[in-house]
Amino acid sequence: MVLHPVLGKLVSKRVVLASASPRRQEILTNVGLRFEVVPSWFKETLEKSYFAAPYEYAVETAKQKALEVANRMHVKHLRTPDVVIGADTIVSVDEQILEKPVDKQDAYRMLSRLNGKEHSVFTGVAIIHCSSKDNQLEMEVTDFYEETKVKFSDLSEDLLWEYIHSGEPMDKAGGYGIQALGGMLVEYVHGDFLNVMGFPLNHFCKKLAELYYPPSKHNVQHKKYDSIPSVDTFENLSDVESESSNFTEHKGASKLDSSGMCSSGSIYNSENSSSVRSGFMVPLENRNGMPENATRLPSKILELMDGFRASKALFVASKLKMFDHLKNKGPLKAVDIANEVGTSVCGTERLLDACAALGLLEKTPQGYSNTDSTNTYLTSDGEYSLHGYIIHSNDHLWPLFTYLESAVKEGSRQNHRAFGKKAEDLFKDYYHSQEVKQRFMAAMHSIAHLTARDVATAFDLSRFKSACDLGGCTGALAHELVQIYPNLKVTVFDLPEVIANTSYFQPSAQHTAPVTFVSGDFFKDNLPEADLYILSRVLHDWPDEKVHVLLSKISAVCKPGSALLVAESVLDEQKTCPPTAVLQSLSMTEGKQRSGSEYKQLLEKHGFTNVQIKITENLLDVVLCFKTLSP
């Protein structure tokens, strides 16, 4: 069997999972799919009685979840994804649709209904292929559903309540999780187990097979995709781009404009779902009979106009550690949080509502609680916490950006206006104030930790025996490297003030080879010996002259065959993409973001050849080059 299934067809695409469900993330991650998670803000409130069958409801909800994310990502300054996947799981028993219980009584009501009986679990899935033409979003929607039958044993009241008190039912359709304690309630399962858990992987692969290997015209009547074709090597994916950019008229796919309406005016038609009345399509824009362009343009601009409010709401809620309180004690009412953090009740309520509107919190009659991604990224102590970077953005970048107008007029950074100090003096503060230093290091650590896997795996680095991460700060990338390449010895080289403060950021249990930390200034001191030098998020801080100094120093210690790996957000040749990097340039530091050809030129000038660039579509792209005999 060839173990590169049709999922490999998604390898070169920017895939987004429009779901906060940790189970869906796990199922897709387990099969090696690389994707971003952007939970949908679509509220699951479609009127159930309008749907002729339960699966129609699940399919339509899945589709609206995915459409909301595709639209939002296109409208915001984020890049339009290639593929957005949405899903919705429901339980159907006695003609009733059961979703996630709202409280323990509701869970009891659901589990009592299921007790001793067979029920159906339906997951609706929508796969949206997006493209942007003249800045207009075009979407092709493919959807399907899968049904699995599950039977519960006869269960006692005590057992049901014991199960409910475990807390497991609360975020699960029908009030049980078959993959955990809930498995004990189940007598049999007929069908796809993963479908019950939230994502019908097998049917998904078959659907991709239909889309990426469409039947040729002459056998269109007969060909059925009961099996999943494999992709033998990733090299033969060259056909993928042309297929996807020319993504028309595949079975089960329909074209939508960015409002979620079919451009043809017809409703999607899918293999397993009967058609749904157009009244159920939720228009994402206020159309009011106005021409499409007139309604779409303001929403983009309005979103940008409001962007600063949204950022500040996130920053303030983070700074006040509201997400930490909610993680430990949620759901909580506004008054409880206000008491905990010492803020006004009315102000707290408005801020929490804003966070709920932005999809950072869930609001129920019981109070506010964190979404899964808020727990992962916004609480201050999580492994993948972005808290440090958010506080840095609030305390350092926000004041700087307040003076953007002066920065543009004068062409220089505005530290003196924002902080009453020149940049050089401010830099000294980093090393005198323990708090500022820790904040800055936490910010750098957040990003390094989140991008480390992508940077470490962009190229196969297994041939190297030793690596030196210059300016490697807390060692987040170094730890990832030793984990992925067990034979690699990694040294982190950074300023003494930084090295002295790294202990707080070290992983608690070290199962891998330790990382060595060495103090020094890469402009002044001798560099440790290594076969591979790494500069991650270093070069953009420096102007070309300084970059030349650093590269010539590295080139001098590099033996032939050694390599240099640079991790930066690489601009396209027009320098308008990716927006995050372009916006970062507005800080007007003396450094700058550079394009692929600019990095190539700089590196080749110092005797590095075979320059290869991997665009990861994550925050950092990766450049690898090798030292030749003479520069």
Ligand X SMILES: O=c1[nH]cc([C@@H]2O[C@H](COP(=O)(O)OP(=O)(O)OP(=O)(O)O)[C@@H](O)[C@H]2O)c(=O)[nH]1
| Binding residues for ligand X (CB under 6 A) | 19-21, 23-24, 39-40, 44, 65, 87-89, 100, 171-173, 176-179, 182, 196-198
Least separation, in Å, of the C-beta of 483 and ligand X?
A: 28
Q: What's at 599, amino acid-wise?
A: Y
Least separation, in Å, of the C-beta of 125 and ligand X?
A: 10
Calpha distance 422→402 (Å, rounded): 16
Closest CB to ligand X among residues 87, 139: 87
Give 232's strand partners.
none
Least separation, in Å, of the C-beta of 146 and ligand X?
A: 13
Least separation, in Å, of the C-beta of 104 and ligand X?
A: 17
Closest CB to ligand X among residues 168, 243: 168
The residue whose Cβ lies closest to ligand X is 198
Catalytic: which of 82, 88, 469, 621? 88
Q: What's at 245, amino acid-wise?
A: S
Calpha distance 539→334 (Å, rounded): 45
Closest CB to ligand X among residues 45, 49: 45
- What's the per-residue H, E or C state across 154-205? CCCHHHHHHHHHCCHHHHCHHHCCCCCHHHHHEEEEECCHHHHHCCCHHHHH
Least separation, in Å, of the C-beta of 26 and ligand X?
A: 9
**382 within 8 A of 376, measured Cβ to Cβ:** yes
| Helix, strand, coil percent values for the chain (each to nearest 5) | 45, 20, 35
Calpha distance 110→100 (Å, rounded): 9
Least separation, in Å, of the C-beta of 123 and ligand X?
A: 7
Helices 345-357 & 292-319 angle (0-180, nearest 10): 130
Q: Where are the beta strands (DSSP E) in 227-308?
A: 253-256
Calpha distance 251→257 (Å, rounded): 18
Closest CB to ligand X among residues 375, 569: 375
Closest CB to ligand X among residues 44, 292: 44
Closest CB to ligand X among residues 24, 537: 24
Question: Can you say whether the dihedral through the CA atoms of 80, 83, 89, 95 is positive or negative?
Answer: positive
Tell me 487's DSSP state: T
Which of 343, 328, 327 has the alpha carbon at shortest distance from 377?
327
What's the count of helices (H) and strands (E) in the chain, helices before strands? Answer: 23, 17
Calpha distance 397→394 (Å, rounded): 6
**144 within 8 A of 87, measured Cβ to Cβ:** no
Backbone conformation region of residue 32, classed left if phi is above 0, alpha if psi is from -120 to 50, else beta: left
Closest CB to ligand X among residues 176, 493: 176
Calpha distance 46→65 (Å, rounded): 11
Which of 363, 365, 359, 440 has the alpha carbon at shortest distance from 397?
440
Which of 577, 472, 58 has the alpha carbon at shortest distance from 270?
58
Closest CB to ligand X among residues 26, 292: 26
Closest CB to ligand X among residues 8, 182: 182
Structure-token pair, residue 280: 């159920």
Upstream peptide bond of 578 is cis (omega within 30 degrees of 0): yes
- Strands 253-256, 136-152: pairing is antiparallel
Calpha distance 503→133 (Å, rounded): 49
Active site residue 88: yes
Give 83's strand partners.
15, 129
Least separation, in Å, of the C-beta of 171 and ligand X?
A: 6
Least separation, in Å, of the C-beta of 99 and ligand X?
A: 6
Least separation, in Å, of the C-beta of 113 and ligand X?
A: 15
**37 within 8 A of 63, measured Cβ to Cβ:** no
Alpha carbon distance, N-terminus to C-terminus of the chain: 47
Least separation, in Å, of the C-beta of 107 and ligand X?
A: 12
Label residue 571 exposed, middle or buried (CB < 10 Å: 0-12, 13-18, 19+).
buried
Closest CB to ligand X among residues 78, 186: 186
Catalytic residues: 88
